[in-house]
């Protein structure tokens, strides 16, 4: 068959094909005769019999509308008849044949005679139940996200206030608060990977202890999956114990060891025992800090159990007991164990002098973070280029001399990869400072350092200095 011989459907048949493809069912209401005509397609959608029937002033269209939406649909129809030409609205509907609840969208147009009187209404109905369910689900997710964000902000505010009350210097506050914030961030990454169903206890242990003191820490126990609330509580508890061990306990010396073991409890919960050995002789502290308060009260309550800390001369021993409510059902598929990240400590060799006079590009869409980076790198001696908050801004800055760069992976929903590719082509080293998780290494597969948010600016400065030293 040649192109000239292609058979095209007639206009009526073409319209039928379009309506069928779009999932629409048509109707016509003859106001002069007050007759409603329901097409077979509309009958298939609504469960109404196909064909003609008395319209009863439009009531035939209202018979199975959900009671809560009836007034709205009648008002929309009356408005269209009174003076409008077209109308469109959504309403809930109960099929008369099987009782299924649907959400329908009705769209139509009013035809008028020469005197402007409405003589007919022609329209289509569409089953939008699936789309409405998606919209409702999206709204529920947004509400849940809003709830979680507010909870996180409230927790961060509380951590900041409590930490400030227990510290006497700004440096001590920044160190203590920053460490606790990172513990929360690590737990959040694990929860996000599991779609906030919870987190595996061994993953929480690995995230906190994995790279803190290689060869000095060990953790073991049966598979356990914790609720989000319990996971956050245990992450903070392990951080407090680890921070204390690194400052004063077993991890403050090379001969020290930390052993974390957990077991199931008969009642359905679990018991985790933290034991330190080989470190300095331990004595009961003369005052109670926020870390001790967190272990004694917050952890016990959040785990629906109790916490006990023993200051044995041979080493600190902490026992955390959790109730059955702290344990979540095991998902069918567990997320992969977190990649062990380097500890947040100063580099072995001080490279800070490498930043003096270095031209460092900052690409970060969060204004406060960008300003903090600019101040921190400038204080370290760098000449800051930018900051660039948008992709176009960053690309426009690439034509000037740049020694190194700090890149956020996502700029207001857009990937920073074009900037990274341009820098890589010029052999300009860069570091990613991002809030994205650890799966897959550096964004875009680049061989570049990654610093996870929340971070300390000194970490970024040290990473940039290392890049410049290596170059």
Q: What is the pLDDT of residues 117-140, one digit of tens each?
A: 889 999 899 999 988 888 887 777
The two tokens of residue 77 are: 């129809």
Tokens of 37: 């005509």
At residue 271, the pLDDT reads 94
**107: which strand partners?**
88, 124
User: How many Å apart are CA 463 and CA 176, to the nearest integer?
Assistant: 21
Is residue 58 within 8 A of residue 29, CB to CB? The reply is yes
Q: Are the beta carbons of 50 and 97 closer than 8 angstroms? A: no
Does the pTM surpass 0.75? The reply is no
- Indicate whether 343 pLDDT > 50: no
Mean pLDDT for 445-463 is 81
Phi-psi region of 99 (alpha: psi -120 to 50; beta: other; left: phi over 0): left
Percent of the chain with pLDDT strictly greater than 70: 78
- Tokens, residue 160: 């900041």
Q: Would you say how long the chain is, in residues?
A: 471
Confidence band of 286 (pLDDT split at 50, 70, 90): confident
Name the pLDDT band for 295 (thresholds 50, 70, 90).
confident
Average of per-residue pLDDT across 354-383: 85
Chain mean pLDDT for the chain: 81
Rounded distance, CA 201 to CA 51, Å? 64
- 373-391 tens-digit pLDDT: 888 888 888 999 989 989 9
pLDDT the model gives residue 461 = 87
Catalogue all structural domains in the chain, each as residue range(s) with its CATH number: 9-127 (3.30.450.20), 141-326 (3.30.565.10), 352-470 (3.40.50.2300)
At residue 429, the pLDDT reads: 92
- Which token pair is 190? 């694990």
Task: Kindly report, residue by residue over 313-342, the tens digit of the pLDDT.
Answer: 999 999 999 999 889 887 776 666 555 444
For residue 63, the tally of other CB atoms under 10 A from its CB is: 12
Q: Rounded to 10 degrees, what is the CA torsion of 346, 273, 185, 203? A: 100
Contact in structure between 125 and 25 (CB atoms under 8 Å): yes
């Amino acid at each position: 068959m040649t192109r000239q011989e292609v058979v095209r459907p007639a206009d009526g048949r073409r319209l039928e094909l379009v309506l069928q493809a779009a999932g629409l069912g048509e109707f016509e209401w003859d106001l002069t005769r007050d007759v409603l005509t329901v097409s077979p397609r509309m009958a298939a959608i609504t469960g109404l019999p196909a064909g003609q029937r008395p319209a009863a002033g439009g009531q035939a269209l209202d018979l199975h509308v959900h009671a809560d939406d009836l007034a709205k649909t009648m008002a929309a129809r009356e408005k269209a008849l009174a003076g409008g030409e077209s109308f469109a609205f959504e309403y809930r509907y109960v099929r008369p044949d099987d009782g299924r609840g649907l959400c329908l969208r009705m769209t139509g147009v009013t035809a008028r005679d020469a005197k402007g009187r409405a003589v007919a209404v022609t329209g289509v109905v569409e089953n939008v139940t699936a789309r409405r369910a998606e919209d409702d689900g999206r709204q529920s997710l947004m509400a849940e996200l809003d709830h979680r964000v507010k909870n996180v902000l409230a927790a961060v505010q509380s951590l900041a206030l409590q930490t400030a009350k227990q510290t006497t210097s700004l440096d001590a506050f920044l160190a203590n608060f920053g460490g606790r914030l990172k513990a929360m961030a690590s737990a959040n990454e694990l929860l996000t990977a599991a779609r906030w169903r919870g987190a595996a206890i061994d993953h929480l242990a690995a995230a906190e202890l994995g790279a803190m003191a290689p060869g000095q820490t060990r953790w073991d126990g049966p598979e356990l999956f914790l609720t989000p609330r319990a996971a956050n509580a245990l992450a903070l508890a392990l951080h407090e114990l680890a921070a204390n061990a690194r400052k004063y306990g077993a991890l403050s010396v090379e001969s020290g060891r930390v052993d974390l073991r957990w077991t199931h409890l008969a009642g359905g919960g679990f018991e985790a025992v933290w034991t330190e050995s080989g470190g300095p002789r331990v004595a009961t502290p003369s005052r109670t800090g926020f870390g001790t308060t967190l272990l004694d009260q917050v952890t016990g309550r959040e785990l629906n159990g109790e916490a006990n800390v023993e200051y044995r001369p041979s080493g600190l021993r902490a026992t955390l007991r959790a109730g059955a409510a702290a344990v979540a059902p095991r998902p069918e598929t567990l997320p992969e164990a977190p990649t062990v990240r380097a500890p947040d400590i100063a580099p072995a060799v001080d490279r800070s002098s490498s930043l003096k006079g270095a031209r460092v590009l900052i690409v970060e869409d969060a204004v406060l973070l960008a300003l903090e980076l600019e101040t921190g790198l400038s204080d370290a001696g760098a000449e800051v280029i930018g900051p660039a908050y948008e992709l176009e801004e960053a690309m426009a800055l690439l034509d000037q001399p740049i020694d190194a760069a700090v890149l956020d992976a996502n700029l207001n929903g857009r990937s920073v990869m074009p900037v990274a590719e341009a820098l890589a082509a010029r052999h300009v080293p860069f570091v990613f400072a991002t809030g994205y998780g650890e799966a897959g290494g550096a964004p875009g597969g680049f061989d570049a350092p990654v610093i996870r948010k929340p971070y300390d600016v000194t970490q970024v400065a040290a990473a940039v200095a290392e890049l410049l030293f290596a170059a």
